[in-house]
């Protein structure tokens, strides 16, 4: 037995191909890159590993194909101390993958192909073993909404907090939003959800307030400006970005989400959990990401 807090992640897994280039290509432009490398990815996978690194026991539910990409992804999850016993291996289905281009400034653009992530059986996320002792569930919009709803209902029945990273943006059904305890969005997703343009911490606070009528707890990450969190009944949390030497922003949001969930599962206060996640994301953007061996 373990006393570690349990976090469940129902989410996406992608084999990422990372390309280093001087800048992102414009429409119709071919850019000569410097190098490329494979990387473990998918918002679900990245968030699961981040939560485990932050001290949680993490159980993962999702799917990969029966291919080399899938085997790479499962190995990376295991190396990240994530329980993969509920990850389906689907025959005749390609694993999820993405191509991401990193520019000289550390910014990136990416294209994902979901593959097996779209083939998860909603019944697979309701097994009692997944939810035994679970305190927090992490979801993302890279998964079909039917999967997210099934998982959120199971989490609620188990008494777990439902955290949703609404990325990438898409309209969410009322049936789903009613199940969300903690909503985490970046500046772009916040604007898409509530119409408030976010270019500063003050803007992030306005966006959080605009969404607080629909969600009990809202967190808006504002990139280089910092992060704002608003929980009903508590004072606004507004934290500036920590000064670091930027290497790459790729995956920073996932590190934030995973660390936040681990903090909440551990019993840290909301403000302390946001602070820990802010520190973890700052460390991540200042280090060169490493691929599992």
pLDDT digits (tens, 9 = 90+) for 122-142: 999 998 999 999 999 999 999
Beta-strand ranges (E) seen in 49-196 are 57-65, 82-90, 97-102, 108-113, 134-140, 161-165, 182-186
What whole-number distance in Å separates Cα of residue 241 and Cα of residue 225?
Answer: 5
39 has pLDDT over 80: yes
pLDDT at residue 288 greater than cutoff 60: no
Q: Residue range 81-95: average pLDDT?
A: 96
Distances (CA, A) of 220 to 165, 208, 226, 246, 253: 10, 6, 9, 20, 11
Residue with tokens 């991540």: 284
161, HSE (Cβ side, Cα atoms, 13 Å): 21
Q: Are strands 57-65 and 82-90 parallel, antiparallel or unpaired?
A: parallel
| Cβ-based neighbours of 29, under 8 Å, separated by 6 or more | none
Average pLDDT (50-61) is 97
pLDDT in tens, 266-280: 999 999 999 999 999
Would 292 be classed as within a structural domain?
A: no
- Judge whether 206 lies within some domain: yes
Q: Whole-number mean pLDDT of the chain?
A: 92
Distance CA 226, CA 132 (A): 35
Taking 70 as the threshold, does the pLDDT of residue 108 lie above it? yes
**CB atoms near residue 175 (< 10 Å):** 11
Can you tell me the distance from the alpha carbon of 63 to that of 212, in angstroms, rounded to the nearest whole number? Answer: 33
Asked whether residue 153 is assigned to any structural domain, the reply reads: yes
- % of the chain surpassing 90 pLDDT: 84
121 found inside a domain: yes
| Within a domain: 232 | yes
| Domain CATH for 158 | 3.40.1190.20
Number of compact structural domains in the chain: 1
Predicted confidence (pLDDT) at residue 43 exceeds the cutoff of 80: yes
203 is catalytic: no
- Identify whether 275 is part of a domain: yes
Mean predicted confidence (pLDDT) in 97-119: 90
What average pLDDT does range 41-55 have in this prediction?
A: 96
Catalytic residue chosen out of the listed positions 67, 83, 203, 254? 254
- Check pLDDT > 90 for residue 106: no
Question: How many of the other CB atoms lie within 10 Å of CB of 272?
Answer: 14
Residue 207 domain-assigned (yes or no): yes
Give the range of the structural domain holding residue 229, as residue numbers without chain letter: 6-26+33-285
100 occurs within a structural domain = yes
Residues 291, 32: Cα–Cα separation, whole Å: 23
Give pLDDT, residue 291.
Answer: 46
DSSP conformation class of 23: S
- pLDDT over 50 (residue 292): no
The predicted model gives 210-237 an average pLDDT of: 95
pLDDT at 275: 95
pLDDT tens digits, one per residue of 238-287: 999 877 666 666 678 899 999 999 999 999 999 999 999 999 988 876 77
Considering 92-106, 200-214, 231-245, the range whose residues carry the highest mean pLDDT is: 200-214
Q: What is the structure's pLDDT at 289?
A: 53
pLDDT digits (tens, 9 = 90+) for 153-192: 999 999 999 999 999 999 999 999 999 999 999 999 999 9
């Amino acid at each position: 037995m373990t006393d570690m807090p349990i976090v469940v992640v129902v989410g996406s897994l992608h084999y990422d191909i990372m390309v280093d280039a001087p800048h992102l290509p414009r429409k119709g432009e071919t850019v000569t890159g410097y190098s490329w490398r494979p990387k473990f990815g998918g918002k679900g996978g990245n968030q699961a590993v981040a939560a485990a690194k932050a001290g949680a026991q993490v159980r993962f539910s999702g799917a990969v194909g029966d291919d080399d990409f899938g085997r790479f992804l499962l190995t990376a999850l295991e190396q990240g101390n994530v329980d993969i016993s509920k990850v389906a291996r689907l025959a005749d289905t390609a694993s999820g993958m993405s191509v991401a281009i990193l520019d000289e400034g550390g910014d990136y653009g990416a294209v994902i192909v979901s593959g097996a992530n779209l083939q998860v059986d909603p019944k697979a996320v309701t097994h009692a073993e997944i939810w035994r002792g679970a305190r927090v569930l992490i979801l993302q919009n890279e998964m079909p909404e039917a999967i997210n709803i099934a998982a959120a209902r199971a989490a609620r029945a188990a008494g777990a907090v439902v955290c949703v990273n609404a990325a990438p943006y898409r309209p969410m059904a009322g049936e789903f939003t009613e199940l969300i305890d903690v909503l985490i969005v970046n500046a772009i997703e916040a604007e898409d959800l509530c119409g408030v343009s976010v270019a500063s911490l003050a803007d992030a606070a306005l966006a959080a307030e605009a969404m607080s009528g629909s969600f009990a707890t809202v967190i808006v990450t504002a990139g280089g400006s910092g992060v704002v969190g608003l929980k009903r009944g508590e004072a606004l949390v507004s934290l500036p970005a920590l000064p670091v030497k930027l290497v790459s922003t790729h995956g920073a949001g996932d590190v934030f989400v995973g660390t936040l969930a681990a903090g909440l599962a551990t019993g840290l206060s909301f403000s302390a959990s946001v602070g820990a996640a802010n520190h973890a994301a700052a460390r991540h953007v200042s280090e060169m990401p490493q691929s599992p061996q």
